Structure 1
């Protein structure tokens, strides 16, 4: 059974992590709010917003659900007539951008892996890129889900090691598609260091690998 509609002011908001806290109008305990519970918003929440919400209980803790921002909510008509087409266009644009970015950073290593396979009759590097990238994407997705549920997280070292083993392509796609780990500079440094290492290895192969094989 849904609770009655309540209101309060957003007094804390961490936009990079997608959560904050509402101070109810009756000055009771602060209520946790996650971005996934904000409905039909024309923008992201900011501190000071008046939030209307219902409450629900999860893992013994009360949090806001079915929330909307006063003054920043789509009207019923715009949800159907303008919001959906706009979201669809934005979705296609993001997909196209992701495909382009992925193509640009993977074309060189994939050419190297294909060249290695043709030269040595060993397709293991290309196979690892394809299979471990799937594993990496799955791990990122699982970690994102755990973060939203405030559950035990997958260690960052595990994600980086998986990327290092060949899953960085799947890791890159997961970061961009799921918006996960993209705002943490220390993690991005480690991730792009892994990407650079793979590029250097294949550059070395393409320059001197054929001579080494001879």
Structure 2
């Protein structure tokens, strides 16, 4: 059932507010992620059409929200991108094989695994914060962990958690961190990087 109401409160910094339903009743919480059109900044007194849902805490909130004059775009269920997940897993397996063959030290293997796990956890926390309207993790921090070696964990988190997987600008920078990190890794296993590898052993 679709309802209509007026936006009576909006916190631009935390990206959430409240709707007063036209038919009366309690004010309804709405987060920016509930809007179909996220490019438009909500303003007070905007007329909004929405559906009612429950968050993880069982509280009622708005979802599938549209501004007056807009049509609700049907959500298309997207399967996780197998390419980025396979690439991440294959990369970690390749590092382990190179360790067995003696090309890379165990410290480097553990560093990639540890950073990937930490990065996945950071993504999970950031998605939880986004859903609750809490203070978000800066995108620069997410990219920093990716370029440091946590990009496999970031890729898996983006696709399995469906977080940061649609924003084109973010995805572009993310793939740049992947290219840079893989390039640095390729240098490490080259003859030129052999001396540095010896220092890690």
Pick the TM interval, shorter chain. Answer: 0.5 to 0.7
Greater helix proportion: 1
8 Å contact from structure 1 (residues 136, 163) kept in 2: yes
Length-normalised TM-score, structure 1 = 0.56
Number of equivalences: 170
Deviations 1:112-171 (A, max 9, x none): 564256335621121111111111111111011111111111122222222222211111
Structure scoring higher RCO (CA < 8 A, sep ≥ 6) equals 2
Which of 164, 178, 182 is 1:195 aligned to? 178
Length-normalised TM-score, structure 2 = 0.59
| Structure 2 partner of 1:147 | 130
**Matched residue of 2:134: which SS?**
coil
User: Structure 2: 5+ residue runs without aligned partners?
Assistant: 8-15, 38-46, 66-76
8 Å contact from structure 1 (residues 129, 166) kept in 2: yes
Q: CA deviation at 1:30?
A: 7.3
Which of 87, 95, 102 is 1:104 aligned to? 87
Q: CA deviation at 1:205?
A: 4.2
Q: CA deviation at 1:6?
A: 9.3
1-side partners of 2:98 and 2:124: how far apart?
31
| Structure 1 partner of 2:23 | 26
Moved over 4 A (4+): 19-23, 27-30, 34-37, 48-52, 66-69, 97-100, 209-214
